[in-house]
Structure 1
Amino acid sequence: MAKAFASQGDMSEKQISFTEIGKGLWAFTAEGDPNSGVIIGDDSVMIVEAQATPRLANKVIEKVREVTDKPITHVVMTHYHAVRVLGASAFGAEQVIMSAKARGMVVERGQEDWDSEFQRFPRLFEGHESIPGLTWPTTTFTDRMTVYLGNRRVDLMHLGRGHTAGDIVVHVPDENVMFTGDLVEYHSACYCGDGHFADWPQTLERIRGFDLAAIAPGRGDALIGSEMVNNAIDLTRDFLESTYRPAVQVAARGGTLKEAWDAIRAECDPKFADYAIYEHCLPFNAARAYDEARGIDTPRIWTAQRDIEMWEALQG
């Protein structure tokens, strides 16, 4: 390999923030590292996104205990990626929920994703030795599911493909607040290695249609107020379209993956080079954009070996 992935050398500690984005609703954020959400009901708590390891999940639990002593009964994962789900055991929840599609992706590619992510971004797996194995849901659903935390209603919805085929969002109607997972990012690159570029923008517009008071995005700061919410959706959409459009143009003329990578960099570097995890995401985003532009609808499974081969091709 000509050089390591950018993420392999990223060992800097991130500052944690814990922001109330609605009554009893909190966003756990960490300067572009994976976010988690907290929903406090009448008698129990729901966590959205479990972090990558039990040790990292305990950092979320510590923040929860600063604001409530209610038991954590539900953990919801918006998609299947290892950095989101492998810490679930720390919460001791009665229910672990994902979409049926996300569970299918754990079956199909969960171990490969874990191995791949661990190799390319080791800092995000602090305390990896405490992971008991793949995270399996106790409950799944197809399009929509409602959970009541006492009288507090929480709607889980699949609004369309985007970051993965199985993404869901978590909406709390009484405060009109949404936890979007990696469908929406804020001043952080979108990881598109399992993405669906053609569908993702319309999924974003469905999120926009809720006219939300606040969003806890997948990465980046909590988004409070309609102006900040819409700005984040616009930036996310611009990132996706600026990545996919050059790949489509290169694929249409029969160009190579390396040519697509160069074209994507030319379009995206001036706008997004200062975004969190930008360099980390770029090779995977370019590879997936090039595949989709050539008609490959289902993202190919990333393995540690495929990561290396792709990176060597781009560096050649």
Structure 2
Amino acid sequence: MSARWLEVAPGVFAGRHAELDQTIGLVVGTGRCLVVDSGTDEVHGADILAAVRERAAVPWTLVITHAHFDHFFGTAAFLPCPLWAHARCREVIEADGEEQRRDWAARYRSKGEPELARRLEAARLVPPTDVFTDRVRIDLGGRAVELIHPGLGHTDHDVVVHVPDAGVVFAGDLVEQGAPPQVGPDAEPAHWPSTMDNVLALGASVIVPGHGEPVDPAFVVAQRDELAR
């Protein structure tokens, strides 16, 4: 898979992937780097990891923003490494991962994309190794990042990645650019606008969505207002 990587701040990258218009994150420190989400399958994950190695000559940690298949089925390509997520994310991956695999493999086949179906079927399911429920700070060497559960929204376990020294937040699918936010059966739409307020309160000047191009706070305000309506 080819991708377009944008340096949205020094040592902070957004990897733009054509499949599902997905955006992967990378934050580079002097001792470690943090990868935000692992992609749709192990081939995709290996492609992401190759791009990470081009930009960071340090070990990596992985964080999964939420338990939808396109954000975690590439994880095995990154092993061994620490793997962070919200505690509920691990529960959902373990309970629903195989069902998501079956559903999306069938969907890819129905769309005439059997290779993507085969890759998803071959991917190993890897649950997170390290979990939290509110927030955790990770020292990357020369910079720290915060993993934060800002509230209920796209799921009940969304995690955002705050890079305070760069003024960047990776928002996962709490924010989408290029399409409306996806309000699925596991979403919490009544709480989503206030959760976006919590993301905005972090004061970042760049917000990187889980799908689409990086945006500014004004975009998030407009999307919050749309969800509230």
TM-score by length of 2: 0.88
How far apart are the structure 2 equivalents of 1:237 and 1:136? 34
> Are the counterparts in 1 of residues 105 and 118 from structure 2 also a CA contact under 8 Å?
no
Aligned to 1:64: 52
1:150-161 aligned at under 5 Å gives the runs 150-161=141-152
Aligned to 1:205: 197
1:155-234 aligned at under 5 Å gives the runs 155-193=146-184, 194-223=186-215, 228-234=216-222
Is 1:138 the counterpart of 2:129? The answer is yes
How far apart are the structure 2 equivalents of 1:15 and 1:36? 13
How far apart are the structure 1 equivalents of 2:2 and 2:218? 25
Aligned to 1:310: none
Q: Secondary structure at 2:170's aligned position in 1?
A: strand
Q: Alignment RMSD, CA only?
A: 2.1
Amino acid at match of 2:64: M
Structure 1 pair 233/187, CA: closer, same or farther in 2 (3 Å)? farther
Structure 1 pair 111/130, CA: closer, same or farther in 2 (3 Å)? closer
How far apart are the structure 2 equivalents of 1:191 and 1:115? 20
Residue 125 of structure 1: how far off its partner (Å):
5.1
Structure 1 pair 16/126, CA: closer, same or farther in 2 (3 Å)? farther
> Are the counterparts in 1 of residues 65 and 160 from structure 2 also a CA contact under 8 Å?
yes
How far apart are the structure 1 equivalents of 2:165 and 2:133? 23
Aligned to 2:41: 53
Amino acid at match of 1:116: D
> Are the counterparts in 2 of residues 204 and 237 from structure 1 also a CA contact under 8 Å?
no
Moved over 6 A (4+): none
TM-score by length of 1: 0.65
How far apart are the structure 1 equivalents of 2:88 and 2:223? 27
Residue 93 of structure 1: how far off its partner (Å):
4.0
Residue 136 of structure 1: how far off its partner (Å):
0.5
How far apart are the structure 1 equivalents of 2:157 and 2:191? 12
Structure with a larger share of its residues in helix: 1
Q: Secondary structure at 1:191's aligned position in 2?
A: coil
Residue 65 of structure 1: how far off its partner (Å):
2.8
How far apart are the structure 2 equivalents of 1:91 and 1:231? 32
Q: Secondary structure at 2:70's aligned position in 1?
A: helix
Residue 21 of structure 1: how far off its partner (Å):
1.0
Count residues with an aligned counterpart. Answer: 222
Residues 253-287 of structure 1, C-alpha deviations (whole Å, 9 max, x = no match): xxxxxxxxxxxxxxxxxxxxxxxxxxxxxxxxxxx
Residue 149 of structure 1: how far off its partner (Å):
1.1
Structure 1 pair 20/162, CA: closer, same or farther in 2 (3 Å)? same
How far apart are the structure 2 equivalents of 1:120 and 1:209? 38
Amino acid at match of 1:101: R
Q: Secondary structure at 1:28's aligned position in 2?
A: strand
Q: Secondary structure at 1:198's aligned position in 2?
A: coil
Residue 168 of structure 1: how far off its partner (Å):
0.9
Aligned to 2:75: 88
Q: Secondary structure at 2:38's aligned position in 1?
A: coil
Residues 159-195 of structure 1, C-alpha deviations (whole Å, 9 max, x = no match): 1011110111111111121111000111123222121
How far apart are the structure 2 equivalents of 1:126 and 1:116? 13
Aligned to 2:94: 107
> Are the counterparts in 1 of residues 94 and 127 from structure 2 also a CA contact under 8 Å?
no
How far apart are the structure 2 equivalents of 1:115 and 1:38? 29
How far apart are the structure 2 equivalents of 1:231 and 1:150? 31
> Are the counterparts in 1 of residues 196 and 220 from structure 2 also a CA contact under 8 Å?
no
Residue 114 of structure 1: how far off its partner (Å):
2.4
How far apart are the structure 2 equivalents of 1:51 and 1:230? 28
Is 1:17 the counterpart of 2:4? The answer is yes
Amino acid at match of 2:161: V
Gaps of 5+ in 2: none
Residue 231 of structure 1: how far off its partner (Å):
1.3
Residue 241 of structure 1: how far off its partner (Å):
4.3
> Are the counterparts in 2 of residues 21 and 215 from structure 1 also a CA contact under 8 Å?
no
Q: Secondary structure at 1:36's aligned position in 2?
A: strand
> Are the counterparts in 2 of residues 53 and 126 from structure 1 also a CA contact under 8 Å?
no
